[in-house]
Amino acid sequence: MTFAIRDFKGCIDDIQVVDLDYSCLNYTWNQSPLEMNGMLKKIDRVLVNEAFLMEYANAYAIFQPYRISDHSYVVIKMPDLISSKPKMFRFIHYITDNEHFQKCFADGWSVPISGHTMYRVVKKLRLLKNSLRKLLLNKGNLHSYVMHLKDELERVQKQLDITPSSFDVREYEIKLLKEYNDALWDEERLLKQKSKVEWLRVGDDYSKYFHNAIKAKVNRARINAVMNSDGIFVEGGEVADVFVNHYKQFIVRNYGPNKTSDLNQSPNPQTINK
């Protein structure tokens, strides 16, 4: 790595910006496009900070064909936030330390279910989702709960400063402090799991770093635009329909009632560009 690249990377880390998710062209710069030995590289990027990702969580960039230029021009899309589908269930590791976890799991797993062994396992896992969700959310949103405990702890400590001899206030402050530390520990483990940052040790109070890593990961994980089988560029809410229609056609074509295709055969979908 050259000194210039090292300095630039250090600058990016210092100002805390990340790549915005992008679609269309992968190579944004071309050298000597009219010659056979031309070179293509990805050197153009859209860098955004945490405030931008919080304000425009669904934003993405589209790098357009460069035409007669040597650089691709970029269009930034900032669609409205939509949340039409419920979030999928994810097992959160920290609930295994909950005092009610063992009983909750044992009660759910002991439900009698008839059928094939694999069917019974899958059915019991599905039945466990509701009880584990309730256990996970018995105190509401964890981040809101941490903020509530923080505010309450500050209020009680101010009250203790006014009445330092009050045994009840002191006892309540000790109870709140333990709950706040436990909630902070749970929140940090949750953020570490969601951000998939494994090289930081839990307990080092990297909550802000984890939040930033999660925002960047969510922004990069979306497919914002695709090219359908007719060669038409599709964006926004119609992206999911392109995938659904493609695999519907594939299943009907290969595994329909009049087909005897090998089910182990790999699909051969049309090229779809992210």
Same domain, 118 and 191: no
What number of other Cβ atoms are within 10 A of residue 228's Cβ? 17
DSSP 89: P
Same domain, 147 and 192: yes
Number of domains in the chain: 4
Same domain, 206 and 169: yes
Residue 266 confidence (pLDDT) above 80: no
pLDDT single digits (tens) 105-156: 888 888 888 888 888 888 888 888 888 888 877 777 888 888 899 999 999 9
Residue 42 confidence (pLDDT) above 70: yes
Helix (H) or strand (E) holding 17: strand 17-19
Q: Is 261 contained in some domain?
A: yes
Same domain, 218 and 156: yes
Same domain, 259 and 272: yes
pLDDT of 262 = 46
73-83 burial string, b = 16+ CB within 10 Å, else e? ebeeeeeeeee
202, 188 Cβ separation under 8 angstroms: yes
pTM score:
0.40
DSSP 50: H
pLDDT single digits (tens) 163-207: 888 889 899 999 999 988 888 888 877 777 766 544 444 444 455
pLDDT of 267 = 45
Task: Tell me the one-letter amino acid at 177.
Answer: L
- Tell me the residue range of the domain where 107 lies: 93-138
Same domain, 253 and 182: no
Residue closest to 23 by CA, chosen among 57, 59, 62:
62
Q: Which residue has the tokens 């050259």?
A: 2
pLDDT of 260 = 46
Residue 263 confidence (pLDDT) above 50: no
Stretch 232-260: mean pLDDT, rounded? Answer: 74
Using CA atoms, how far apart are residues 20 and 46, in angstroms rounded to an integer? 6
Q: Which structure tokens are listed for 126?
A: 């599905």
Q: Which of 77, 104, 124 is the last residue of a domain?
A: 77
Q: Is 82 contained in some domain?
A: no
Place 65 in a pLDDT band, splitting at 50, 70 and 90: confident
Using CA atoms, how far apart are residues 66 and 168, in angstroms rounded to an integer? 71
Q: Is 83 contained in some domain?
A: no
Same domain, 115 and 188: no
